[in-house]
Chains A and B, each alone.
Chain A
Amino acid sequence: MTSGLTISHRAQTWAMSRRSITGLRRQPALVIPSMVFPLFFCALGTASFGRAIDLPGFPDVDSYLDFALAGAIVQGILFGSVVSAVGLATDIENGFFDRLLAAPSTRPGIVIGRLASGMTYGAFQTLFFTVVLIPFGLTIRGGVPAVIAMMVAGVFVALAVGGLMGSMAIRTGSSEAVQGAFPLLFVALFFSSAFFPRETMSGIYGALADLNPISYMVEGLRDLVIVGVTWSALFRAIVIPATMAAATVALALHSLRKRVAAS
């Protein structure tokens, strides 16, 4: 019986994941900005800050492009994960979420299934940015294993951000509120080491970047690009976002329990 239930839960989660992934595939216009803008900023930064790599505090890189890739990936994933959370809020707004709750469905599956599109998209974005930028001189010192590790990291980063935004979607039940919170993520991205190393920042900016978890996610990914596959890089790129994902998904599930209890 227990085994049957477990399979059923997996099947439900898988079915809801497929639904959210299909939804994303059918509305590419929703995610195009999250593909185009990071690449645009990456191209702009590479052309503008090419000479900055010689400054004290910059890591040893062949070009600013190598340095900027990790920031572009995280930026794209932040944009994309908001789309998944908005989808969850839309489900609440149009009543689909209530129908799922009324059915004997798995509660974690509802949340994870909805965030699956963001996770899949996170892995895809990582691969897409890497493949697009290689002809422009991008060098991945860690080679193919590093790209695979980055894709895994992309999944966890997307889940961490999606869990946080999903929690907000469940609490507010408003897609507008989720979209309205996006500037906060944007602010957090800029006060991190996504675009310039922490070592080059001073005063309050450096302190904020030190406290900002996005800095560590970006730096883990960056190490895979500019150093190679090391234990330290894998830890920062995968374990830190995975831990954050566990926390934010737990937060989303807590919000769901509260919502169910209140209804």
Chain B
Amino acid sequence: MTVTTPATRAANTVHTGRMAASVGLAVRSLRNIRRLPSTFLPAVLMPIFQAIAFAGTFFAITQIPGFPTDRSINWFMPLAVVLGSGFAGIGIGLAMVRDIETGFYDRIRMTPAPRSSLITGPWLSALARSLIVTSAVVAVGMLFGARLSGTIVGLLPLYVAGLGVATIGTGWALGLAFLFRDMRGAAIMQLTLFLVLFLTEAQAPIMVMDGWLETVARVNPFTYILRLARSGFLTDTPTRDILLGLGAIVVLSSLTMSFARRQLGRLDR
């Protein structure tokens, strides 16, 4: 019979550093894309479809006086990237629920892997997924006529916004997964992300909105994240909006990751 004492556990922990454990969990999560493509493919295909469908259906809105671009795909492609990245994060939460339900999570807890790697590992995977989604949507978007307003550096804010929303989505979804420990949290994960992203300038700029949505969109931090994402594709995005977008990412990421860490701690207790 093997007895694990605190001393041996500490010794093992030295060999299983946080980074190594996080990377191991991230690699496992990414391998699952190959093993279970059906769980990730919709996360790539839906944003592509959304970018194309919205750009085609709402093609005429660019004719509204003052609209910041003359190409509807320039307006809707960044929205699709942000939504797709957010759902990449949500997908990580759903995978965690599966791990909790199948007992894999308990087995990980019995290893000397640092607890925080249960968050940083999936988070790294979400970032990788976000990069895949963003690159796929940008490639198709360019084929359908999306054009940068300046140099290729304009893609950087789009990738940053995607990674930021993936981080926010991961923190939120992991927190809910640790809180509910079953699929009850799935609907909340998806619905909340969907709502906060659409109650913004998702479909039209604030200047053309009417009534309640204008008020909600002005105070919704995701409006500024979307402005950051779109900044490379629109003719004129004030620096203030870009800074607000970056600030919103930092604040919301910190909040959702703290939420995940707290729920993980409660789950361990």
- The answer to whether the Cβ of B63 comes within 8 Å of any Cβ in the partner chain is yes
B60: Cβ under 8 A from any A Cβ = yes
Q: Which of B5-13, B118-126, B167-175, B203-211 contacts A (4 or more CB under 8 A)?
A: B203-211
Stretch at the interface among A119-127, A159-167, A193-201: A193-201
Q: Count A-B contacts at CB 8 Å.
A: 69
The answer to whether the Cβ of A23 comes within 8 Å of any Cβ in the partner chain is no
Given A55-B63, A202-B59: A45 touches B203 (CB 8 Å cut-off)? yes
| Contact A48 B56, beta carbon cutoff 8 Å | no
List B contacts of A52 (CB < 8 A).
Answer: 60-61, 64
Query: Is B203 a contact partner of A57 (Cβ separation < 8 A)?
Result: no
* Chain A residues, CB < 8 A from B60: 52, 55, 57, 196, 200-201
Please give, as numbers and ranges, the residues of chain A lying within 8 Å of B49 by CB-CB distance: 187, 190
- Which of A40, A48, A50, A56 has the most chain B CB atoms closer than 10 A to its own CB? A48
Question: Are B198 and A44 interface neighbours, CB within 8 A?
Answer: yes
Partner of A205, one of B59, B202, B209: B59
Contacts of A44-88 to chain B: CB distance below 8 A: 44-52, 55-57
**For chain B residues 206-254, which have a beta carbon within 8 Å of chain A?**
208-214
Q: Is A216 an interface residue (CB 8 A)?
A: no
Interface residues of A in 172-218 (CB under 8 A from B): 183, 187, 190-191, 195-196, 200-202, 204-205, 208
CB-CB < 8 A to A183: which residues of B? 42, 46
Alpha-carbon gap, A200 to B64, bound state (A): 12
| A202–B70 alpha-carbon span in the complex (Å) | 14
Contact A44 B57 (CB under 8 A): no
Contact call B59/A48, Cβ cutoff below 8 A: no
CA distance A191 to B42 in the complex (A): 19
Contact check: which of B46, B56, B63, B214 meets A201 at CB < 8 Å? Answer: B56
Chain B interface SS verdict (over half): helix
Alpha-carbon gap, A182 to B211, bound state (A) = 33
CB closest chain-B residue, reference A199 = B60
A18-50 Cβ-contact flags toward B at 8 Å (1 or 0): 000000000000000000000010011111111
CB-CB under 8 A for A47 and B212, given A55-B60, A200-B60:
yes
Tell whether B14 is near chain A: CB-to-CB under 8 Å: no
* CB–CB A195/B57 < 8 A: yes
Which residues in B have their C-beta under 8 angstroms from that of A43? 213
A204 CA to B56 CA in the complex, in Å? 8
Enumerate chain B residues within 8 angstroms of A46, measured Cβ to Cβ: 210
Give the docked Cα–Cα distance between A46 and B211 (Å). 10
**Is the interface on chain A under 10, 10 to 19, 20 to 34, or 35 or more residues?**
20 to 34
Known contacts: A201-B56, A204-B56, A205-B57. The answer to whether A44 contacts B203 by CB under 8 A is yes
- B58 interface residue per 8 A CB criterion: yes
- CB of A51 within 8 A of CB of B56, answer no
Given contacts A55-B64, A187-B49, is CB(A47)–CB(B209) below 8 Å? yes
Whole-angstrom distance between the alpha carbons of A195 and B56 in the complex? 11
Residues of B within 8 A of A45 (CB): 203
- B204 close to A48 (CB less than 8 A): yes
Chain B min CB distance to A136 (Å)? 10
Complex: how many Å from CA A98 to CA B202?
A: 48
**Chain A residues with Cβ under 8 A from B209's Cβ?**
47-48, 50
CA–CA, A51 and B53, complex, Å: 21
Once bound together, how far apart are the Cα atoms of A46 and B63, in whole Å? 17
Q: Tell whether, in the assembled complex, residue A48 and residue B203 are in contact, meaning their CB atoms are under 8 Å apart.
A: yes
**Nearest B residue to A37 by beta-carbon distance?**
B194
Q: Which of B6-61 contact A (CB under 8 A)?
A: 42, 46, 49, 53-54, 56-61
Q: Which one, B59, B64, B213, contacts A44 given CB within 8 A?
A: B213
Smallest CB separation, A202 vs chain B (Å): 6
Partner of B58, one of A47, A56, A196: A196
Residue of B whose beta carbon sits closest to that of A201: B59
Q: A49-B203, A195-B57, A196-B58 are in contact. List 18 more A-B contacts (CB 8 A).
A: A43-B213, A46-B210, A47-B213, A48-B209, A49-B61, A50-B209, A51-B208, A51-B210, A55-B60, A55-B61, A183-B46, A187-B49, A190-B54, A191-B56, A195-B58, A202-B59, A205-B56, A205-B59
Q: List 11 A-B contacts (CB under 8 A).
A: A43-B213, A49-B58, A52-B61, A52-B64, A187-B49, A190-B53, A191-B56, A196-B59, A196-B60, A205-B57, A208-B56
